[in-house]
A and B are shown apart, each in its own frame.
Chain A
Amino acid sequence: MDSSLIFTIGNALRTWLEGLCRAHGVPTLVVDILAWGTGAVLVVVLGLLVALFVIWLERKVAGYIQTRLGPTRVGPVGIFQTAMDALKILQKEDIIPRGADYWLHLAGPVLYFTALVLGFAVIPWDVKATLAATVDLNVGLIYVIGVTSVGVLGVVMSGWGSNNKWSLLGAMRAAAQIISYDVPLLLALICVVMVAGTLSLTRIVELQGSAGILGWYVFKPYLWLPFIIFVICGTAEVNRTPFDIPEAESELVAGFHTEYSGMKFALFFLTEFDHMWFVGLLGATLFLGGWYSPLGAADPIPGFVWLMIKSFIFVLVLQWFRWTLPRLRVDQLMGLAWKFLIPAGFVALAIVCVAVLFI
């Protein structure tokens, strides 16, 4: 079925509902808030559902890498396992340790989750005519970097508010790590922006798609270095092995979420896996041509599906990293960022400068 049909129906429904509300004298502001809010809720729900799927996928991938099967019991190939886990964790007692700062302890996971979800707002899902980004900001990329960086505040809040030294250590590591890796990540993204000449994510995708599959930025040799930097920094941003030192299980017990249980813990957990998908979406948008099909314009598969496939390639690569590599030490992690990735980022920037000028 053509995806645009679904989206057309959706749009028609929306127009009809808006008209209905207006006709009954609902103020325009409320109608707007409702309309935008529906979109936002849909994106959040999609994010949570995908997070559940990513967790299941992770367990399956881990299983096959480790010569076992992963979940098999709940539903076909264990697909409902994580849904059941989520239901279970909802019933768990919410434990706040003695001496913890109640508000910080509460605000930590909420902020962590919110910061990530805000980032989804500007991801362009499909061609403008069918399902555009929830918001098409002309400074989309800056917005993404801005809001997702706020998440580290949530980590620091929960680490400090937990009244646990392991949490504090984990939070300090997380802060140092995310701030360090934001710099090379930004350098890599600036390269993309220089080539595209725009900060709008939708526009970046459109520019890539205009020249067929070879127009995708990942196929431009002068963007290979930024792409590699992006993948490494993306892994570090989502705190995954080999960069999972903020929650290094064997060292810090569970890092900043040691003292969390129940739904607060689930928020951390879901956010982490959602974040992985988000990095995949960002990578697919910036380097892999977003919603465009590699088969050309005649491809019947909707762009949204292609975006999902591309983002899940990133997710699978990150999972493959995790189950293969050991963890770096904290000083090596910093060394990698400041001594290698940042200089490499500047080199990439120089290369892209030359390329943009002369090609």
Chain B
Amino acid sequence: METRSDLRTEELLINMGPQHPSTHGVLRLVLTIDGERVVQAVPHIGYLHSSMEKIAEAKTYRQYMPFADRYDYLNAMGNELAYVRAVEKLCGIEVTPRCEYIRVIMAEMNRIASHLVYFGTLGLDTGSWSPFLYCFREREAIIQLFEDTSGQRLLYHYFRIGGLRNDLPSHFCDKLAEFLDYFPARINEYNDLLTNNIIFQRRMQGIGYLSPELCRRYSVTGPNIRGAGIPYDIRRVVGYSVYPELEFDIPTRPEGDAYARHLVRVEEMRQSVRILKQCLEKLPEGEINVKVPRRLKPVVGEVYERVESPRGELACYLISDGSEKPWRLHWRAPSFYNLQVLPELLKGAYVADTVAILGSIDIVLPDVDR
């Protein structure tokens, strides 16, 4: 007969993904778990690698524009902004004030849309289904405006080097103002549904603690670092485009846990509303495009242009050899850097927390793999 000393427990190696409902795409996490506790988590990436950077070397600067949309698909406008700003800096092109304002309007609208997707999917990750559909209802209003403007709903290809594809449609400003009027009240509704729910709070508070030190070591950016109490926002640090002319706060939370990151994102949506309202007021009349040579041949050199994407510091690094095509293009993709810190956050967490922490970091897989 077996004695009790023969009984033993062992750690279980389990594959979370690439096919898993909550890894937000094709992320594969190899978890070593001890009962319900995660002992070790190793993210395996690359399932969505699509040579986004290599492709740039075979395309002219203009031809690469639609590719810029495609890797962080929740922030297509923001990606375009980073890319056009890099190319314009390289070529020394100055765009018109109206164009700058419209670009910022688009980027901020896209930030709200992206945070709405984050909010909804975090709800799904924590088992709450309804916020997702409410968030998508509001996201639909934004997407509809994008569609009216650019003809596309997800990958807009709206920005052009030296300007924009077309000016805003005539009803755009009224529709947007209407949206900005009712949207803050809707955020309160979502908070009632999810953020202020005691179950949700208990689940999110105290998990996935990200210290400022850890943020610096892994160069975590975006709402994640602001959730750790550091007011690091490229819109303020660099102050690109028209952001220096606009009034907005950089929301931070000192706690550093998943709930703090969540609150930062919710507050960022409100700040984006503020920015958009100001933009609508200040939006100047005038041309949207400047003259750009048909054959775009920048001088030999390199630029590194940073913008604040909903996920953090997004940068486009371009090296020109003087030809029509970039010699090298590199994306500093925020999701990639933010994902690096995941194994540290998952140590000792519950299996259930894994998805909540992953959701709170808010990665987009094509942005990781590119």
Residues of A within 8 A of B (CB): 62, 65-68, 165-166, 169, 173, 241-242, 244-245, 248-253, 322-332
- Asked if B197 and A248 sit within 8 Å, CB to CB, the answer is no
How many whole Å from A198's CB to the nearest CB in chain B?
37
| Contact digits for B124-150, partner A, Cβ 8 Å, 1 yes 0 no | 111111100110010000000000000
- Residue from A62, A173, A241, A326 having most chain B Cβ neighbours under 10 A: A326
Q: Which of B125, B193, B199, B353 is close to A242, meaning CB atoms less than 8 Å apart? A: B199
B249 at the A interface (CB under 8 A): no
Q: Which residues of B sit under 8 angstroms from A323, Cβ to Cβ?
A: 129-130
Among B217-271, those with CB < 8 Å from A are none
Q: Which residues of A sit under 8 angstroms from B14, Cβ to Cβ?
A: 165-166, 169
Q: Which residues of A sit under 8 angstroms from B20, Cβ to Cβ?
A: 253
**Do A62 and B203 contact each other (CB < 8 Å), given the known contacts A325-B197, A329-B350, A330-B352?**
no
B351 at the A interface (CB under 8 A): yes
Interface size class of B (residues with CB under 8 A): 20 to 34
- Asked if B352 and A329 sit within 8 Å, CB to CB, the answer is yes
Label chain B's interface by main secondary structure: helix
B355 at the A interface (CB under 8 A): yes
Q: Which of B134, B197, B199, B353 is close to A66, meaning CB atoms less than 8 Å apart? A: B134
Q: Which residues of A sit under 8 angstroms from B22, Cβ to Cβ?
A: 249-251
- Asked if B129 and A331 sit within 8 Å, CB to CB, the answer is no
Q: List 22 A-B contacts (CB under 8 A).
A: A62-B129, A65-B130, A66-B133, A66-B134, A68-B133, A165-B12, A169-B351, A242-B199, A249-B21, A250-B355, A251-B22, A251-B351, A325-B127, A326-B123, A326-B126, A326-B128, A326-B197, A327-B203, A328-B199, A328-B203, A329-B350, A332-B202
Q: Which residues of B sit under 8 angstroms from A327, Cβ to Cβ?
A: 126-128, 199, 203, 352
| Contact digits for B197-212, partner A, Cβ 8 Å, 1 yes 0 no | 1011011000000000
Q: Which residues of B sit under 8 angstroms from A250, Cβ to Cβ?
A: 21-22, 124-127, 355
> How distant is the Cα of A65 from the Cα of B133 in the complex, in angstroms?
10
> How distant is the Cα of A66 from the Cα of B132 in the complex, in angstroms?
9
Known: A67-B134, A328-B199. 10 other contacts (CB 8 A): A62-B129, A68-B133, A169-B14, A241-B127, A242-B127, A250-B124, A251-B354, A324-B128, A324-B130, A330-B36
- Asked if A245 and B352 sit within 8 Å, CB to CB, the answer is yes
- Residue from A62, A166, A329 having most chain B Cβ neighbours under 10 A: A329
> How distant is the Cα of A328 from the Cα of B199 in the complex, in angstroms?
6
- Asked if A326 and B200 sit within 8 Å, CB to CB, the answer is yes
- Ranked nearest first, the 5 interchain pairs of A and B with the lowest CB-CB distance are A327-B127, A326-B128, A250-B22, A66-B133, A326-B126
B316 at the A interface (CB under 8 A): no
Q: Which residues of A sit under 8 angstroms from B21, Cβ to Cβ?
A: 249-250, 253
Q: Which residues of B sit under 8 angstroms from A253, Cβ to Cβ?
A: 20-21
> How distant is the Cα of A33 from the Cα of B311 in the complex, in angstroms?
68
Q: Which residues of B sit under 8 angstroms from A67, Cβ to Cβ?
A: 133-134, 137
- Residue from A241, A250, A331 having most chain B Cβ neighbours under 10 A: A250
- Asked if B127 and A244 sit within 8 Å, CB to CB, the answer is yes
How many whole Å from B207's CB to the nearest CB in chain A?
9
* CB-based nearest A residue for B350: A329
**Do A331 and B199 contact each other (CB < 8 Å), given the known contacts A66-B133, A242-B127?**
no
| Contact digits for B112-132, partner A, Cβ 8 Å, 1 yes 0 no | 000000000001111111100
B194 at the A interface (CB under 8 A): yes
- Asked if B355 and A326 sit within 8 Å, CB to CB, the answer is no
* CB-based nearest A residue for B126: A326
Among B306-351, those with CB < 8 Å from A are 350-351
* CB-based nearest A residue for B354: A251
**Do A248 and B352 contact each other (CB < 8 Å), given the known contacts A323-B129, A326-B203, A327-B127?**
yes
> How distant is the Cα of A242 from the Cα of B127 in the complex, in angstroms?
8
- Asked if B200 and A331 sit within 8 Å, CB to CB, the answer is no
Q: Which residues of B sit under 8 angstroms from A165, Cβ to Cβ?
A: 12, 14
**Do A325 and B128 contact each other (CB < 8 Å), given the known contacts A165-B14, A250-B22, A253-B20?**
yes
How many whole Å from B231's CB to the nearest CB in chain A?
29
Q: Which residues of A sit under 8 angstroms from B124, Cβ to Cβ?
A: 250
**Do A325 and B199 contact each other (CB < 8 Å), given the known contacts A67-B133, A67-B134, A244-B127?**
yes
Q: Which residues of B sit under 8 angstroms from A330, Cβ to Cβ?
A: 36, 350-352
> How distant is the Cα of A252 from the Cα of B21 in the complex, in angstroms?
9
* CB-based nearest B residue for A243: B127
> How distant is the Cα of A251 from the Cα of B14 in the complex, in angstroms?
12
Q: Which residues of A sit under 8 angstroms from B200, Cβ to Cβ?
A: 326
How many whole Å from B194's CB to the nearest CB in chain A?
7
How many whole Å from A290's CB to the nearest CB in chain B?
33
* CB-based nearest B residue for A176: B36
> How distant is the Cα of A307 from the Cα of B328 in the complex, in angstroms?
73
How many whole Å from A352's CB to the nearest CB in chain B?
28
* CB-based nearest A residue for B194: A326
Q: Which of A66, A68, A166, A326 is close to B127, meaning CB atoms less than 8 Å apart? A: A326
How many whole Å from A165's CB to the nearest CB in chain B?
5
- Asked if B130 and A66 sit within 8 Å, CB to CB, the answer is yes
> How distant is the Cα of A222 from the Cα of B197 in the complex, in angstroms?
29
> How distant is the Cα of A327 from the Cα of B353 in the complex, in angstroms?
11
Q: Which residues of A sit under 8 angstroms from B197, Cβ to Cβ?
A: 325-326
How many whole Å from A64's CB to the nearest CB in chain B?
11
- Asked if B199 and A326 sit within 8 Å, CB to CB, the answer is yes
Q: Which residues of B sit under 8 angstroms from A328, Cβ to Cβ?
A: 199, 202-203
**Do A66 and B129 contact each other (CB < 8 Å), given the known contacts A250-B355, A329-B203, A330-B36?**
yes
* CB-based nearest B residue for A324: B130
